[in-house]
Amino acid sequence: MGIAIARSFAILDSTAYTTAPEDRVALIDSDGTIVGVNEKWVLLAERTGARMERVGPGANYLDICRRASSSTPDAREALSGIRAVLQGKLRSFTMDYCAHAESQVRYFRMGVTPINYGDAKLVVAHSDVTQLYLSKEKDLQRLQGFARGLINAQEQERERIAREIHDDLGNRIALLACSVRQIQSQSPRRSGSHTKQLNAIIDNIANLSTALRSLSHWLHPPLLKHVGILVALNALFREFETQDLEVELESPDHLPNFPEAIKLCIFRVSQECLNNIAKHAHASSVKVVLECTRKEFRLKIRDNGKGFVPSEATRGGLGLTSMTERVLSVRGSLTITSSPGAGAEISVVIPLPKKMSWPG
């Protein structure tokens, strides 16, 4: 085996293929048999306890992937990619995967490139990209923290405005209505036209009071906190149905007790979607689908409106930006599917924490 490994190093050194010093590299022939490996490949095998007869020169790399593919999706993807390059269907193949190495989870990038040197037909190189992934994760966490801070500040301001509307403006309007009624009661002999005018003023005051109560309610919905997400969403949908927009809800009978941040995210995204549909889509119906597993919550909102070009809408739409930031703050993802004349669908996926109370 020592002679075979030494020959492997010679093959790698004499080819025009260049790899980073830390890459684990193997050369394989047209049948998938390993004909050469570098020193890093050997060292990794030693550290992980893999026998060189199974992973070194003479072993079939396709068989290695095939054996692992029954339990590892990454191995199936690798097997398919290597075959595609060997058959000339792909010029090269790259994939990222995670693996347990040296008692910790590490991330690797596998690159497969054609070569023509003796029996060698492919170069398979595995690069350690753990630091890149950790850096991305830290950047994502910082971005999520920033988004959460902005959203919390926004919600606090909404709550403050809702209280001001309810407590201050609501009381002022109530006093104004009482004053008008008092004037009306003290002037029983006024002409019919004056009575109608006073009645119209009282009606307008009542309508204004109702509008302000509704605004206060949706700025900071108490139903969401005290009754739950399903009841709050149903109330929201009934509100939009009064605007000649038919809303169909498909959901489980019960949902788990989501953390407050997730409940608020679901509600605000639904609210923003319906606002956009009512204002811009010229739609007559909307279908809302809620799905929930132990791992994730999914929300889909689809309308039959005029549609739009997502790239153009996200450049200029504060509403879509706000929705994206909200979903990001709870580690979720948001996808927009639309085209002119074909309606639109907003799809949200939110991962759920492991410790959470479930119905039943």
Average pLDDT rounded to a whole number, residues 35-56: 80
Partners of residue 357 on adjacent β-strands: none
- Domain boundary at 100, 128, 156, which? 128
Contacts of 51 (CB under 8 A, 6+ apart): 45
Task: Give pLDDT tens digits for 298-346.
Answer: 999 999 999 888 777 655 455 677 788 888 888 889 998 888 888 899 9
Distance CA 329, CA 265 (A): 9
The helix (run of H) or strand (run of E) holding residue 291 is strand 285-292
| Residue 247 pLDDT greater than 60, yes or no | yes
Residues 70 and 149 in one domain: no
Same domain? 119 vs 149:
no
Apex CA 349: angle with CA 345 and CA 351, to 5°?
Answer: 175
Q: What is the CATH number of the domain that holds 62?
A: 3.30.450.20
Amino acid occupying residue 50: A
Examine the domain organization and report whether 344 and 251 are in the same domain: yes
Same-domain status, 305 and 269 = yes
The band of 50, judged by pLDDT with boundaries at 50, 70 and 90, is confident
Per-residue pLDDT tens for 73-121?
A: 888 899 999 999 999 999 999 998 887 655 677 788 889 999 888 888 9
User: Can you tell me the distance from the alpha carbon of 26 to that of 354, in angstroms, rounded to the nearest whole number?
Assistant: 40
What residues make up the domain containing 203? 135-220
> Between these two residues, 314 and 137, which has the higher pLDDT value?
137
What CATH number does residue 286 fall under?
Answer: 3.30.565.10
Q: For residue 16, what pLDDT band results from cuts at 50, 70 and 90?
A: very low
Which pLDDT belongs to residue 17? 47
Same domain membership, residue 124 and residue 166: no
Q: Phi first, then psi: what are they for 59, rounded to 5°?
A: -75, 155
240 and 345 both lie in a single domain: yes
Q: What's the CA gap between 145 and 131, in Å, rounded?
A: 21
Do 293 and 323 have their domain in common? yes
- Domain boundary among the residues 220, 250, 283 is at 220
Residues 235 and 358 in one domain: yes
Residue environment code for 280-299, b if the CB has 16+ CB neighbours within 10 A, otherwise e: ebebeebbbebebeeeebeb
Q: Are residues 153 and 102 in the same domain?
A: no
Q: Which residues of 167-182 are buried (b: 16+ CB within 10 A; e: fewer)?
A: eebbeebeeebeebee
Same domain, 235 and 344: yes
343 and 235 in one domain? yes
Whether residue 123 is found in the same domain as residue 185 = no
What's residue 214's pLDDT? 63
How many domains are there within the chain? 3
The DSSP bridge pattern shows strands 344-351 and 333-338 to be: antiparallel
pLDDT tens column, 182-224: 766 766 565 566 667 777 777 777 777 666 666 656 666 766 7
34-63 mean pLDDT: 83
Choose one of 75, 97, 128: the last residue of a domain.
128
